[in-house]
Structure 1
Amino acid sequence: MTILVTGATGNIGRRIVDRLVELVANDIRALTKIPAKANLPAGVSVFTGYLGANSPAPRR
């Protein structure tokens, strides 16, 4: 199953990503505005994007 976590570098989003990694979820995708600052666990696919009004589509 593919799981997308929006706001993955925020307080709640980061905890969700970490928990999913602990549960051995095999396809975790993280959406964040600034991927260079993400510092997410290995195996998490990071996508650049923001779900606010008039924002462009997320990109890898």
Structure 2
Amino acid sequence: MIRLRTAGHSALLISDTIGMSPEMVGRYSRQQDKTESALAVLKEMHERAAVKLPQNGQQK
């Protein structure tokens, strides 16, 4: 189930596939969803930090 959720499938599709209610799929995959969100935020912060803006009056 977690592999399906990580691959981007919806709770409804997963519930139809494995025979579990969408609510239970959401409950069991909640931690994985939080982890994925946190990693996305960290990646975005890292990418923003890698792009350096020129300081006052300086050119690249």
Q: Report the TM-score when normalising by structure 1.
A: 0.31
Which structure would you say has the larger RCO, counting Cα contacts within 8 Å and 6 or more residues apart? 1
**Which structure has the highest strand share of the two?**
1
- Structure with greater Cα Rg: 2
**Which structure has the highest helix share of the two?**
2
Q: Report the TM-score when normalising by structure 2.
A: 0.31
